[in-house]
Structure 1
Amino acid sequence: MPLRRALRRRLGASLLALATLPGPILLAPTGAGAAVPTYGVDERAQAVASPALVFLEVTYKGVIRDKASGRPLEAGTKVVSRRCSGFVVNPDGQVLTTGVCVQPSHDVVRLMTFYSVGRARVDKGQLTEGQLNGFVDGLMKTADFTGEQPGTQPEATLRGQLNVATAGQTGKPAIGGTVVAAQKPDDGNLALVKLDQGGLPAVEINRDAGLGRGSTAVILGFDTKDVDGDHGTYTVQAKLVDVITLEKVDYLKVSEDVGPYSHGGMAVDNNGRVVAMLDADPGVPERPNRKLVGTDVLADFLGKNNVRNELGDADRAYRRGLDAYFAGRYSTAIREFDATPSNLLANVYRRNASDRYAVEGDAVENSADWLGYGLSAAGGALLILLITLGWRYLSWRRRPGAAPAPFAGDPYAPVSGGGPFPMSGPPAPWPTSGGGTPMTSGPPSPYEGTGWGPHSGPPAGTDHPAPHEQRHPDTEPDRPGHF
């Protein structure tokens, strides 16, 4: 075959490849992109933060005695418990919570103990509901709650549980802990607890939150719907709420709460970072947990106790996994979740990612691969085209007796005329199909819920807890061992 004919065929093949490649490059992502799921930002915030939420339970064991004589008023020992929420601020097991929960005053411990005794008598028919408060007032004047020996303090034991907790749990998965530091309610009401286990999921504190009137946040805390709280199951409750009052620079108030055991829980932003701690609202008789302790106060308290707020490698892998999961890159999500085996929620999301990958594939990753392959092929075709044109030019220059090429004096002018080439504007931007924020039809609607799931979307609203469940530990308790 003559050389020039062969070169023409090569040139035609190169141009055909370059012209036809953009078709599959642009069309391939279109169908796959439909598999990318749509999620509310509040679900991701809950997914990031909730593994670091801790159910805290302090158990007091002692003897009820007459103050004057020291003789026991009840046979045997009495056990009462105090329960609340907290959150892990570094993987070593450092937990922030409220001081009134894990280190209340002795009078508070006595009060909840005497209410426990009074309610037991109401259940037996020995007292009426109308007589309960008077019975407790009488014991507060004449009785004490001590250790095994008169004049000693009751024995206190602190334990924490993650994810789903059971009241009264003494063995695994409960984790023992100690109170490192605690403030009185008037001094700030913060406490630092050290759990006896490392490698725990942690959460970040966002000191630049800028939370104020009109802001929204997701609040998280433990609560139970069981009537018998002493043997109940406690789970993470979440709700999207509004900031409705700016009382002080560092103290805010929100529109709702998630139950009486949520004090010490957290309010988080859309990225799952802590913007406040939940505490009791002193301006309401039922003292719901709607008051927010600001991040500057939390950070200062940690600094005074030489505790750093930081994430571990597993925490960062978990967040990368969530980023990939919510973007539809399920194979990447699975790899990242595999690096966080101790995180129960990571295991849940990993199973969801595996299920979605089996059905939908990797929508974003596949489209990104097609784009890379297409650009690589286009680059190769362009290189062949340049080589071919160069070879044609050299072959033409070697032809004997060739006339000189026509010359145009006007810059960028074609040889057949004196005007410049027409310009139609810059090329259209290259469409992409992945790596950005998933498209949604609008911002997520605020919702009220008491639970959530990574596969089913935001939870349905539930009834507000009954009034007797809204009492705070500093007021009259509503069940044995609870205030």
Structure 2
Amino acid sequence: MSSQGAGQPLADSPRTTWHRLLRWGVGAVAATAMLWLSSPAIAAPADSPPPTAPLEQLQALVQPAVVYEQITWTGYVYDETNKGYFTEDPFTVSYQCTGFVVNPDGYIATAGHCADYDRTVQDAILSQVVDWAYENDYYEATPSKETIATFARNWRVDGADSEGTPDLSVSVAYGVSVSGEPTGKELTARVVAVRPPGQGDVALLKIEAEDLTVVPLSDNSDTGVGTEVVAVGYPVSVDLVTDVDFNPSFKEGTISAKKTTDAGSLQVYEISAAVSGGMSGGPTVALDGDVVGVNSFGITDEPQAFNFVQPAQTMEEMLRGEGVENTLGPVTEEYRAGLNAYFAGDRDAAVEDFEAVLQVVPSHQFAQEYLQKAQALPASSTSPLIWVLLGVAALLVLGLIGFALWARGRRAGGTSPPVPTPAPPGSPLAGTVPVVEAEPVAPAPTAPSNGQETAAASDPGAAADSAASDAGSDDERFCPNCGKQHDADAHFCPRCGQPL
């Protein structure tokens, strides 16, 4: 028996080829991804925020806008009884407050009593005069200090060019270097507007500066009892026992109650945060960094934290009255965007934003510090190279799938070579069966007339010999399966392909 074609591998089926190509393409994509993840030049995703405390984020938002204020009143005291000034030199009273920037062009908010000549300031100046008069025997009878103090009702405090009001000077200094000004450098401020405590206790100052970092004022719509707040300012008590470093204190607390003053005409917030002298005028902020109030006053000799702030909208009303907008400005917007990106772990965006701030304000201390912190973060995963690699791999997979489908279609078409069919046992050959056009089946021989019988019918052996003799003489054969005529030396039926 012939074994023609034996030992040759069978051709892959279209389904096998398609699966093999698809597996190869998926493997290519996986290899590309692994290459990207393991490459030292392209870091894996690292958008995990750095470990920070909420107060650190709040400090970064607020402190660049907070200023230290030195308030000085200078007056000449006139004795109306003796018709003359006590001395040629003025008497001065100084104290400190806190303020915060509300407009990038140098507008600073503070408490009204920080810039208002009230009875407290007047009494402080007159007290100095009492001491001076007693120590210098101003009165001939040398009365006691207590007696001299009773004469004060006849004294008047004048300014250099004004009567009845001493001269005011306000200096501000930044706790951090901003807008080209180093930390602690004093800048002269002028008073734009003042509302004394009975009218809202807010004031607006102006310095000659631009591109300052600003804190936004809250509209107080969401400010209610229980709101977490942080009071910011420069407490005198801290400066008395520590070195002055121009770093404000951040006192945490909540809004304890909403109250009114002046017969219900003014609203104030009672807060549990510890606000002490020197913090007046500083901002009390919510945890998002928006100012909810201006530090105003406390209760004298109260052992517990028991303080009040003026709502931010009181300050907003003053700004509108002076034609000033509480706008952040480009520097503050870039700086805050950088902080948001940094605390979200987005290294590239943070670096870009802080660098933009430093292009405008090279001395911005907090932008410098957080730029260094951002640069120390793990690299972000936004490199365009990964998208190029993944795109190429995806196109490769699509191309392979398309090729596999095209090849599969060709195999399934009418012009495709037939699939080899094994020959049945005992057949002379086993091989590929050619596909040919179907032809009509030859008609069967006509049956003999009634009463007649052929020799083949009466003698089967003779009939077979006769048929073989006829076929051999004419070299004609017929397929036993379909009846197709074929040549004498054919091994397969040209119509149905069956072995002969």
Say how many residue pairs are matched: 388
Partner residue, 2:78: 65
State which of 153, 157, 169 in structure 2 corresponds to 1:157: 169
Task: Please state whether the residue corresponding to 1:280 is helix, strand or coil.
Answer: strand
Partner residue, 2:29: 18
Partner residue, 2:398: 383
How far did 1:263 drift?
1.2
CA separation of 1:143/1:325 partners in 2, compared to 1, >3 Å: closer, same or farther? same
C-alpha contact 1:110 1:140 (8 A) present in aligned 2: no
Please say if 1:274 is aligned against 2:291. yes
Partner residue, 2:190: 178
How far did 1:326 drift?
1.5
* Cα deviations by residue, 1:311-356 (Å, 9 ceiling, x for unpaired): 1111011011111221233343233222323769953453454256
C-alpha contact 2:62 2:289 (8 A) present in aligned 1: yes
Q: How does 1:212-223 map to 2 (within 5 A)?
A: 212-223=224-235
C-alpha contact 2:231 2:273 (8 A) present in aligned 1: no
How far did 1:55 drift?
1.9
C-alpha contact 2:21 2:404 (8 A) present in aligned 1: no
Cα RMSD (Å): 4.4
Gaps of 5+ in 2: 1-10, 137-143, 261-265, 419-500
Please say if 1:326 is aligned against 2:338. no
Gaps of 5+ in 1: 125-131, 404-483
Looking at structure 2, the residues matched to 85 and 232 of structure 1 have their Cα atoms a distance apart, in angstroms, of: 14
* Cα deviations by residue, 1:381-420 (Å, 9 ceiling, x for unpaired): 43233332343244335561579xxxxxxxxxxxxxxxxx
Task: Please state whether the residue corresponding to 1:68 is helix, strand or coil.
Answer: coil
Please say if 1:51 is aligned against 2:69. no
Please say if 1:111 is aligned against 2:123. yes
C-alpha contact 1:280 1:289 (8 A) present in aligned 2: no
How far did 1:261 drift?
1.0
State which of 282, 286, 298 in structure 2 corresponds to 1:265: 282
How far did 1:310 drift?
0.6
C-alpha contact 1:51 1:343 (8 A) present in aligned 2: no
TM-score by length of 2: 0.65
Q: Report which stretch shifted further, 173-182 or 21-30.
A: 21-30
Report the residue type matching 1:334 in the other structure: V
Task: Please state whether the residue corresponding to 1:309 is helix, strand or coil.
Answer: coil
Looking at structure 2, the residues matched to 315 and 270 of structure 1 have their Cα atoms a distance apart, in angstroms, of: 18
C-alpha contact 1:281 1:287 (8 A) present in aligned 2: no
Q: How does 1:353-392 map to 2 (within 5 A)?
A: 353-354=371-372, 357-358=375-376, 360-362=377-379, 365-366=380-381, 372=387, 375-392=390-407
Partner residue, 2:272: 255
How far did 1:122 drift?
12
Partner residue, 1:204: 216
State which of 82, 96, 99 in structure 1 corresponds to 2:112: 99
C-alpha contact 1:246 1:253 (8 A) present in aligned 2: yes
CA separation of 1:164/1:351 partners in 2, compared to 1, >3 Å: closer, same or farther? closer
C-alpha contact 2:47 2:345 (8 A) present in aligned 1: no
Report the residue type matching 2:415 in the other structure: P
CA separation of 1:64/1:202 partners in 2, compared to 1, >3 Å: closer, same or farther? same
* Cα deviations by residue, 1:436-467 (Å, 9 ceiling, x for unpaired): xxxxxxxxxxxxxxxxxxxxxxxxxxxxxxxx
Report the residue type matching 1:281 in the other structure: G
TM-score by length of 1: 0.67
Q: How does 1:295-306 map to 2 (within 5 A)?
A: 295-306=312-323
Structure number with greater CO (CA < 8 Å, separation at least 6) is: 1
Task: Please state whether the residue corresponding to 1:235 is helix, strand or coil.
Answer: coil
